[in-house]
Every structure is written in C-alpha cells, then in structure tokens.
Amino acid sequence: MNTHKFYLLFAFFLLINGLPIEAQVIERQLLFWENRTIDIGTVFEENGKIEVEFLGLNQTDSLILISDVITDCGCATVEFSQDTILQSKVGSIKISYEPDHRGGPFTKLIVVRANQDIYGDTLYLQGNNIPFPDDLIAAYAHQVNNVGFRLPAINMGNVYTNEPKKKLVEIYNFGVDSLRLVSNAENSDFTDLSLFPEVIGPDQRGLIEIFYDGAVRADFGFVSDDLILNFEGKDEPISIKLLANIFEYFEPIPKSMVQVVPRLGIQEVDIDLKDIRANQIIKRKIKLTNQGAEPLQIRKVVGNCDCVLINLESLLIQPNESTDLEFTFDPNGRRGIDHKHITIFSNDPVNPVRTIVVKSTIK
C-alpha cells in the first residue's frame, strides 16, 4: 500500500516538473504606479484630514479592474476607480488620512487587489504626525518673546561633514501678531532656516526647518552656538541654543588599504591614577604613534572638564613616527571616584575618534 502511494506521488511530481515554466507561473499584470510611496511630511493634528492620490497606468495588454483596496489603519479611508482601466489609461486611488493623537513617524500599508493580480499590489503612505497637546503652556514651556519652544535648546544630534543635517523644530505663536521669518544672517554661514507655513498666525503652531552644515561649521565634537531668529514685526531677535556633535565622514576603507591609510596608535587608553590628593596636580605623557603609511593629522584634542589641560607636541605625525600628548589634571574641589575623558579626533578613517579614560580616587 505504501509503495503504491509512493509511485503515485512520484508520477505526479514528474508530471508537474514536465510542464512548461510558463504553465507553472501565474503572470502578474499590474498597474504602473506614478509613485508607490507618498510622503506627506509633517502634519499637525489640528489641521485635519490630508488627501493624496495614487495614479496607476495600465501598460499591459489586458483590461484591469480594481476590485478592492485595503488599508491597515482606520485612520486612512479609500476611494478608487470603479470602471475598467483600458490599455494606456490611468486608474486612481484616493487616500484620506485623518491625523490622530498617536504621534510620530508612520507608514500606512495600502493593498490593491485587481482582476489580473491574485496577490495584491502594495502602496505606502508615510509621514510624521504631531498631535495637538492638551496643555499648550506645558508643551511649549520655553517661551521667548511670545514664541514657544518644546525645549530651551535645539539639539541637532550627530552631524557628519559629508552632508547637511535636517531637523524640524516645533514652535507655537502665543502672541497677537503673525510670525514670518525674515532673516538668519547671523547664522547663515553654517545653517539654513525656513518656516512652515511661511506665516504662523496667532495661537497657531508651525515648524522651523534647520539645515546644519557640519563641514562649514569647521569643528569637531560637541559644539554650542546661539541660533538667532529674526521675525518680521518683532523689535528684538529671538535667540536659542543650537547644539551639535560633529564628526568627520570617511568613505568605507577596503581591507587592502587598512595598513596604508593613517592609523592612530595610543600608548595607553585606560589610565588609572589610583589614590590621589585633592591638592595634588597630576601630569602625564602619552605617546601617540602613526601606525599607517600616510601622514596622520590630529584634528582636535579635547577633555570633558576644565580641570584637564592638554598639550600636544605636534598635530602632524609622519608614518612610523610619534609625538607626546601631555595632560595636566587638577583635582582641586573634587572627592571620591573620578573619571575624565580625553577625546582625540584625527584623519584615521578606521577609528577617527579615540578616547582616553583617566580614572582616579580623590582623597
């Protein structure tokens, strides 16, 4: 009995594999979409419904009829072409998105079913929803001249030198006059600012779009600046702190070049001073070596405390040569377990940022 079943299955297997490939594959005849993904950007809940339209061209030799369109969220409703889409004609799917209290970036899945496609085609609607806060005063707690910000500083985060970084910052107009951004001349060398919408009416929200160019800022590590905002009709410009952490960008290095490019070698990266007195000034030297075959350029050396002074003999280290980094640590006014960091930025593309940790117990 079992042998008989085996032969039947084997015969069926041979029959299936003997069919032409065209007979085994169901050809999908899809609409050619102008955009498979539509990004509606940042939307405020209070502005209400957003409508977008997906357009699909029938480039096949068949008639296509959209039978159903399904979304993965009740916040998105659908209207689509009910008529047959002839060859070289365009079908339409309209999506209405209703912002809700759930904030943050979103991606909505839209599945399009048609008579010529049993699997369903996929489209995407994405954006960033900003809910309307229950308490405006608490939400925009940092107010300067009737302009409310979420925080007292704008943090750009990590910025790399290969391209400007974009950030959107919410503001609220608590004043009685409309806001229009007229100039940012004080910051124009490394920032570019825009206001959306261009005019923010009284008791309305808007966005400041900031493009921050780390290469033009020409520094490394943590930097702090005053961002100056000039609004039409305001006697005084508005100033707010602008923070960034800037890193040099390097293209990926092939393995064959790892021993050729500049490479920073550090004699000691974990220094334990053990027990020291609060009135005892400590000096140490650390040898830095270029272990590569190209010149090593030290871009910047910085400590995380004014109590650490740093002196470097040379910023340029030739291949197989060394230089001394000397630091002076003044523990005056400090007690207990203490950690200090010395950060070195260089043109070593494998490890462009290195940290030396200085530990101690201050008595």
Q: Which residues pair with 61 in a beta bridge?
A: none
Find out whether 67 and 94 touch, Cβ atoms under 8 Å.
no
Q: What is the pLDDT of residue 116?
A: 85
Alpha-carbon span 356 to 117, nearest angstrom: 61
Q: What is the pLDDT of residue 23?
A: 43
Q: What is the pLDDT of residue 111?
A: 94
Helix (H) or strand (E) holding 37: strand 37-44
Sort strands 147-149 and 316-317 into parallel, antiparallel or unpaired: unpaired
Q: Which CATH class, in words, describes the domain spanning 255-362?
A: mainly beta
| Residue 337: both structure tokens together | 């377990």
Is the whole-model pTM more than 0.85? no
Find out whether 293 and 319 touch, Cβ atoms under 8 Å.
yes
| Residue 65: both structure tokens together | 């009829």
Alpha-carbon span 141 to 283, nearest angstrom: 45
Q: Please name the amino acid found at residue 179.
A: L
Q: How many helices (H) and strands (E) does the chain have?
A: 4, 27
Sort strands 90-97 and 50-57 into parallel, antiparallel or unpaired: antiparallel
Domain 32-130: CATH superfamily is Immunoglobulins (2.60.40.10)
What φ, ψ does residue 45 adopt, rounded to 5°?
-55, -40
Q: Which CATH code for domain 136-247?
A: 2.60.40.10
Alpha-carbon span 298 to 194, nearest angstrom: 36
Rg (CA), the chain: 31
Distances (CA, A) of 264 to 164, 234, 246: 27, 51, 19
DSSP 235: S
Pick from 178, 129, 187, 112: which is nearest to 154 by CA? 187
Q: What is the pLDDT of residue 138?
A: 96
Mean pLDDT, range 301-317, rounded to an integer: 95
Per-chain mean pLDDT for the chain: 90
What φ, ψ does residue 209 adopt, rounded to 5°?
-95, 125
Find out whether 95 and 71 touch, Cβ atoms under 8 Å.
yes
Q: What is the pLDDT of residue 182?
A: 87
Q: Exposure of 233 by Cβ count < 10 A (0-12 exposed, 13-18 middle, 19+ buried)?
A: exposed
Domain boundaries, the chain: 32-130, 136-247, 255-362
Helix (H) or strand (E) holding 1: none
Alpha-carbon span 207 to 47, nearest angstrom: 14
Pick from 132, 130, 127, 72: which is nearest to 103 by CA? 130
Q: What is the pLDDT of residue 179?
A: 95
Mean pLDDT, range 304-313, rounded to an integer: 94
Alpha-carbon span 269 to 356, nearest angstrom: 4
Mean pLDDT, range 2-19, rounded to an integer: 48
pLDDT tens-digit readout, 222-276: 999 999 999 988 888 999 999 999 999 999 999 999 999 999 999 999 999 999 9
User: Given this chain, do its domains 136-247 and 255-362 carry the same CATH topology?
Assistant: yes
